[in-house]
Amino acid sequence: MIKRDVENIFRKGNNFLLASHLNPDGDAVGSLLGLGLTLRELGKNVTITSPHPVPRTFSFLPGYELIQEPGNLNSLTFDVGVVLDCTEVERTGKETEGLLKNCNTLLNIDHHVSNTNFGNLNLVDTDAAATGELIFEILEEMGVPITPEIATNLYVAIVTDTGSFQHQNTTARCHRNAASLLGLGAAHARAYQLLYEERSLKSMRLLEKCLRTLSVSEDGLVAWMAVPQKYLIETGCGIEECEDLVNYPKSISGVEVGILFKQVSNNEVKVSFRSKSYVDVNSLAASFGGGGHERAAGCTVHGTLKDVERRVLAATVNFLLDAKGATST
Ligand code: 5GP
Ligand code: MN
């Protein structure tokens, strides 16, 4: 039913503003471009914006050059704002939030459990592996032509959010959708190579340094790693080059929760949580003002790196105790 309403808005709207979250990932970028290119094919005026620069890794995606900084858009007006893969409108960034407030219709399409239903119309499907998957299903139902360029973007959204079909959110449904996208000409081999086999040497040097910070709790259930700002400076890496580092602590045998602490500035740390089977890290991240999914979530915490590590680890240990208590009753 809601999907029908979304289709109607896509058909009837004229001037669209498409936005996603801070630190855009593959699902954010793939969804923005997959939908953006389709709406353009339908003859709509489409503006695509990102509050932070899109990592170079995604520069091979068709339409990458269409993504604009919100600061350049103040003179434009839009009838429809579409927010993709974003739990709350604040996560689009201050400038974009202002532009979205002036839209007649605000559409919220997402798959996070922590979504706040901030739109006039909210299509939030927490069973979807990626927002890109939801976009694909809508476009397919609309019967609009899906070019190989559009298919590549939506395929990358699914591949990146499922960790190449390895995470728990991988379903028969998302494999079927991915298969359809391959049938439509998604450039899967090229995407794999450019996403996963083009690591910079400096990011390997960063990994080497960060691995030395790897620690495991006494009971072996929590493992964590840190990226102090000085490592970024010493290796010449940007913060976006830490994207997959959280998988190292998580991958240790017996570990349930993997945590990565990225020092953004002297007083700010971006924390990533991943869990393997029973800890709801979305709730854990929410206790620090963040959110995400049950098995992958994040938050930003203010304080020194050491202080944030101490506070977050203490909260995680307590959280684990509660989770274990809940499973044993
Ligand atoms: P990551 O750890 O890779 O940055 O994010 C994991 C998941 O949690 C993603 O789905 C991301 O959108 C979400 N997430 C990360 N940081 C935050 C945050 O500060 N607030 C909210 N609401 N979600 C976040
Ligand atoms: Mn997503």
- What pLDDT, in 10s, does the model give residues 12-54? 999 999 999 999 999 999 999 999 999 999 999 999 999 999 9
* Burial class of 62 by CB neighbour count within 10 A (0 to 12, 13 to 18, 19+): middle
Quick: pLDDT tens for 251-289: 999 999 999 999 999 999 999 999 999 999 999 999 999
Q: Is the minimum distance from the CB of 151 to ligand 1 under 6 angstroms?
A: no
Output 104-107 pairs: Cβ under 8 A, ≥24 positions apart: 104/79, 104/80, 105/9, 105/13, 105/79, 105/80, 105/81, 106/80, 106/81, 107/6, 107/9, 107/80, 107/81, 107/82, 107/83
Examine the pLDDT at 322 and tell me if it is beyond 90: no
Q: According to the model, what pLDDT value does residue 325 have?
A: 73
Q: Is the minimum distance from the CB of 51 to ligand 1 under 6 angstroms?
A: no
Examine the pLDDT at 329 and tell me if it is beyond 60: no
Quick: pLDDT tens for 196-227: 999 999 999 999 999 999 999 999 999 999 99
What distance in Å separates the CA atoms of residue 85 and residue 2, rounded to the nearest whole number? 17
Tokens of 147: 């070019």
Nearest CA to ligand 1 atom 14: 298
Contact 252, 216 (CB under 8 A): yes
Contacts of 194 (CB under 8 A, 6+ apart): 57, 60
Q: Measure 273 CA to ligand 2 centroid, in angstroms.
A: 15
Query: Residues 241-249: what's their mean pLDDT?
Result: 94
Q: Is the minimum distance from the CB of 24 to ligand 1 under 6 angstroms?
A: no
Q: Is the minimum distance from the CB of 272 to ligand 1 under 6 angstroms?
A: yes
| Most distant pair of Cα atoms in the chain: their distance | 59
Q: Where are the beta strands (DSSP E) in 104-243?
A: 105-110, 121-124, 215-216, 222-227
Quick: pLDDT tens for 75-125: 999 999 999 999 999 999 999 999 999 999 999 999 999 999 999 999 999
Query: Residues 160-187: what's their mean pLDDT?
Result: 97
Contact 301, 311 (CB under 8 A): yes
**Per-residue DSSP letters for 244-307?**
TTTHHHHTSTT-SEEEEEEEEETTEEEEEEEESSS--HHHHHHTTT-EE-SSEEEEEEES-HHH
> In order of start, what are the domains of the chain with their CATH numbers?
2-196 (3.90.1640.10), 201-328 (3.10.310.30)
Q: Measure 208 CA to ligand 1 centroid, in angstroms.
A: 25
Index of the ligand 1 atom closest to the CA of residue 290: 20
Backbone angles phi, psi at 153, to 5 degrees: -60, -45
Index of the ligand 1 atom closest to the CA of residue 246: 2
Residue from 85, 112, 268, 275 whose mutation best tests the ligand 1 pocket (most atoms within 8 A of CB): 112
Query: Residues 162-170: what's their mean pLDDT?
Result: 95
Mean pLDDT over each residue of the chain, to the nearest integer: 96
Q: Which residue has the higher pLDDT, 323 or 198?
A: 198
Query: Residues 149-175: what's their mean pLDDT?
Result: 97
Q: According to the model, what pLDDT value does residue 324 have?
A: 75
Q: According to the model, what pLDDT value does residue 327 have?
A: 63
Q: Measure 222 CA to ligand 1 centroid, in angstroms.
A: 19
pTM: 0.95
Tokens of 137: 């299903």
Contact 228, 305 (CB under 8 A): yes
